[in-house]
Structure 1
Amino acid sequence: MTSVWLVRHGETEWSASGRHTSRTDLPLTATGERQARDVGGRLHDRDFDAVLTSPRLRARRTAELAGYPEATVDPDLVEWDYGEYEGVTTAKIREQVPGWTVWTHPVPGGESAAHVAERLDRVVDRLRAYPGRALVFAHAHALRALAARWLGEPVATGRHLRLDTATVSVLGDDRGTPVVVRWNA
């Protein structure tokens, strides 16, 4: 049985202020570095058959500080590309586009939900190929969308899965049915 452990990266300046961060390669804050070390303490007694990380600095640094410096970089694990909304908060976007969410509205110059689903489906396929336990370091919207795709649901189902910085979530299988074992712990 495959189980997939998901870790959202530690805090950055923009995650702390609610600014959408995809391509901007921000470092972790001091709090984010502490969070990453704490995550490592929660994972230290587990063995993983594969460890993957987004190529973004914040995810790679979280993996390193958690004790997984040799994590394999997977370009498909990057955050949802926010295009023109990079660095902008949802509240600011909603001043121009009332009710906007990344889950339900277009992202000018960024990725569509269909594109996000396509690349995260590749990740799901690779994860299902591992015979045991995999560990993934990535980003809030990407991991929420990954969980939705793991369950066989549309990317937009991720809107129901809040994900805080430096949290651990687990996806698995229950008698042949993909499930969320633990979320946002």
Structure 2
Amino acid sequence: MTSSPSGRAYLIRHGQTPWTVTGQHTSVTDIPLTAVGEEEAKAIGVALAHVTFELVLVSPRQRTQRTAELAGLTQQAIIEPNLVEWDYGGFEGLTTAEIVQARGDGWDLWIDGVVAGVTPGEHAADVYARARTVLTEVKNVVRHGGNVALVAHGHFLRSLGAAWVDLPVIDGRKLALYTGTVSILGYEHGHPVILGWNIPATGHSSGDDSVNGNAHP
């Protein structure tokens, strides 16, 4: 049996914002957490209080930085520009229903991508490339037994989860990810695996998942 590194990567999606409530696509728009989002961030801190992190990377947006602060992770945090959310371009601030109505047909972010707006926008391959760049450093730490925290955004972290297990980026759409949750990546028998996904920091999930390091996907 192949031995596996003991380190893990903890993916933390920021807490609730006004636009996650309304379903608006939020990338470059720098909006704060709601009161609920701040409570979610505090719960993450409590849930991960037992974990020692060798590396903490945080997206530069205020919603992620505030989440890291309330979770008690800012002392060692490094701002990582590659952790920003998928650039939605001309779809920034719109809901999926509004995008579909404007296009006049169906729309799938992972396949159809976005149109240029104030920012040029990104396609799935662009986001996947950023995720793989981040994982180069993350895997190096995890392989040497260290734990890493990544505080970032929904669509980006879903892309990163797919990249971790060498799945095509489109498979990120199968990984639902809610605000204020923790997902855990690691190794089993020498292979990269998803140990837990979309776990509420409060531990109040529909199964037995928790963020104690023994969670199941």
Same fold (TM over 0.5): yes
Tell me the alpha carbon deviations over residues 62-109 of structure 1, each in whole angstroms, 9 at most, x when there is no partner. 000000123111100000000000000011111133321211112112
Percentage of matched positions with identical amino acids: 47
C-alpha distance in structure 1 between counterparts of 2:48 and 2:39, whole Å? 15
Match of 2:38? 33
Q: What's the TM-score, normalizing by structure 2? A: 0.83
Q: 1:82 aligns with which of 85, 88, 95?
A: 88
Question: Aligned residues, how many?
Answer: 185
Q: 1:62 aligns with which of 63, 67, 75?
A: 67
What is the CA-CA distance between 1:117 and the residue it aligns to? 1.2
Q: What's the TM-score, normalizing by structure 1? A: 0.97
Match of 2:113? 106
Match of 1:128? 139
Match of 1:174? 188
C-alpha distance in structure 2 between counterparts of 1:46 and 1:113, whole Å? 32
Match of 1:21? 26
Greater than 3 Å deviation, 4+ residue runs: none
AA partner of residue 161 (structure 1) = L
Q: What SS does the aligned partner of 1:36 have?
A: helix
C-alpha distance in structure 2 between counterparts of 1:117 and 1:41, whole Å? 31
Between structure 1 and structure 2, the one with the greater Rg is 2
Match of 1:48? 53
Aligned pair 1:150/2:164, yes or no? yes
C-alpha distance in structure 1 between counterparts of 2:102 and 2:90, whole Å? 13
Unaligned runs of 5+ in 1: none
RMSD of aligned alpha carbons:
0.9
C-alpha distance in structure 2 between counterparts of 1:99 and 1:148, whole Å? 24
AA partner of residue 64 (structure 1) = E
Unaligned runs of 5+ in 2: 200-217
C-alpha distance in structure 2 between counterparts of 1:48 and 1:76, whole Å? 20
C-alpha distance in structure 1 between counterparts of 2:113 and 2:15, whole Å? 27
